[in-house]
């Protein structure tokens, strides 16, 4: 599949100076061998092989650190992104925008994936300052200065959307046809989507901690008021029997809120601990050429 995607990209870029950087996130099939074959036939293609799977966002950052062009375009290799839009993105960049995203009027995705994308967009709007109305996805173009700022991030938990939106708000969109996958299925499982959401929640904002504090104060006040009501009712009518069911429901509810808040705090503390241990974003095992790079691995 990657060969057909690359060939289609090249067909639209023949009249331009370009480079294509392909990152193999330790794929279990023969993707790396295919990348090396493509590079032998076209020296404008460069391949990067990870030592293990570090995730899509880390792979994208590796490509950015290897990129040299004035405009960098990011896209997946699943065939759903239409390469014919690249030229239109570049034209939009030349109109004065820093970043241009593809906007899909209709998604060729399952209901589950569309719901996940919606959650991710709302989270980015709330926590990392994504402009309202910008769809935001993995197919976009940006100026080199945006890329240079993004690659300064060396934390072990990169979140690409947050890195883009904290760098610039001069963002535009163009409508692009979202095609069906040519083969295979998405690697984003429910677990990976949840981890992506958690990463977005905790990477660039302390708002979740503030929400936990507000919830804690609110429920404390509610508990105080309910306690006062119960005491007054008991004083007025000593025959009232306190309900076992209501007590258990209250305990379970407040216990859940407390555990959720503690888990959220633990997530922040755990990321600080992992960062202090200098866990790398990724480790490059091999590249297809000898070109020197200033970031051979995304280490802290």
CATH number of the domain residue 134 falls in: 3.90.550.10
Cα–Cα distance measured from residue 137 to residue 99, given in angstroms and rounded to the nearest whole number: 12
Handedness of CA 113, 114, 116, 120 (dihedral sign): positive
Question: Nearest CA to 133 among 117, 119, 122, 146?
Answer: 122
Q: Is there a single domain that holds both residue 188 and residue 95?
A: yes
Establish if 296 belongs to a structural domain.
no
Do 164 and 245 reside in the same domain of the chain?
A: no
Residues 95 and 125 in one domain: yes
Other CB atoms within a 10 A radius of the CB of residue 251 amount to 10
101 within domain boundaries: yes
Based on the number of CB atoms within 10 Å of its own CB, is 64 exposed (0-12), middle (13-18) or buried (19 or more)? buried
CB atoms < 10 A from the CB of 75, how many? Answer: 20
Total domains in the fold of the chain = 2
Q: Report residue 284 as tokens.
A: 């490059």
Residues in contact with 171: Cβ distance below 8 Å, sequence separation at least 6, in sequence order: 97, 98, 99, 100, 101, 131, 134, 164, 165
**Helix (H) / strand (E) containing 146:** helix 144-150
pLDDT at residue 45 in the model: 93
Q: Are 141 and 230 part of one and the same domain?
A: no
The 8-class DSSP code of residue 277 comes to T
Same domain, 244 and 156: no
Do 174 and 55 fall within a single domain? yes
Same domain, 67 and 181: yes
Tell me if 294 is assigned to some domain. no
Check whether residue 49 and residue 143 sit in a common domain. yes
188 plus 230 within the same structural domain: no
Residue 248, CA distances (Å) to 185, 239, 253, 256 in order? 44, 21, 8, 12
In a domain, 200, yes or no: yes
- pLDDT tens digit at each of 300 positions of the chain: 788 899 999 999 888 899 999 999 887 778 899 999 999 999 899 999 999 888 888 999 999 999 999 999 999 888 788 899 999 999 999 999 999 999 887 765 666 666 666 766 676 676 666 777 787 788 999 999 999 999 998 888 888 888 898 899 899 999 998 777 665 555 556 666 666 666 666 666 666 777 777 777 777 777 777 777 777 777 787 776 666 556 766 776 777 777 777 777 877 787 777 777 777 889 999 998 755 444 445 554
116: in domain = yes
Domain span at 212: 207-276
183 and 246, same domain (yes or no): no
Q: Is the CB of residue 166 less than 8 Å from the CB of residue 204? A: yes
Residue 299 is assigned to a structural domain of this protein: no
Query: Residue 192, class by beta-carbon neighbours within 10 Å (0-12 exposed, 13-18 middle, 19+ buried)?
Result: middle
- 11: in domain: yes
Q: Phi and psi (nearest 5°) for 134?
A: -80, 125
Is residue 226 included in any domain, yes or no?
Answer: yes
Q: Same domain for 267 and 155?
A: no
92 and 138 in a single domain? The answer is yes
Residue in this structure with the two tokens 């091999």, named with its chain if needed: 286
């Amino acid at each position: 599949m990657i060969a057909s995607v690359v060939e289609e990209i090249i067909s639209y870029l023949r009249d331009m100076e370009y480079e294509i950087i392909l990152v193999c996130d330790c794929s279990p099939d023969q993707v790396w061998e295919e990348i090396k074959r493509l590079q032998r036939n076209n020296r404008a293609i460069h391949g990067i092989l990870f030592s293990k799977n570090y995730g899509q966002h880390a792979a994208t950052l590796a490509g950015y650190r290897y990129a040299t062009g004035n405009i960098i375009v990011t896209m997946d290799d699943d065939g759903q992104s239409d390469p014919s839009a690249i030229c239109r993105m570049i034209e939009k960049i030349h109109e004065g925008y820093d970043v241009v995203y593809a906007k899909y009027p209709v998604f060729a995705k399952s209901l589950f994936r569309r719901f996940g994308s919606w959650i991710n967009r709302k989270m980015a709007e709330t926590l990392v300052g994504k402009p309202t109305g910008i769809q935001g996805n993995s197919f976009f173009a940006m100026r080199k200065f945006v890329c240079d700022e993004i690659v300064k991030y060396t934390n072990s938990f990169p979140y690409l959307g947050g890195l883009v939106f904290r760098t610039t708000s001069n963002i535009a969109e163009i409508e692009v046809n979202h095609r069906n996958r040519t083969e295979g299925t998405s690697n984003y499982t429910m677990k990976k989507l949840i981890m992506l959401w958690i990463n977005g929640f905790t990477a660039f904002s302390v708002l979740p901690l503030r929400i936990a504090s507000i919830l804690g104060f609110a429920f404390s006040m509610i508990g105080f008021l309910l306690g006062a009501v119960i005491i007054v009712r008991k004083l007025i009518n000593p025959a009232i029997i306190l309900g076992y069911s209501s007590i258990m429901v209250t305990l379970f509810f407040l216990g859940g809120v407390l555990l959720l808040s503690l888990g959220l705090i633990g997530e922040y503390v755990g990321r600080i601990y992992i960062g202090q241990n200098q866990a790398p974003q990724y480790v490059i095992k091999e590249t297809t050429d000898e070109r020197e790079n200033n970031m051979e691995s995304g280490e802290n």
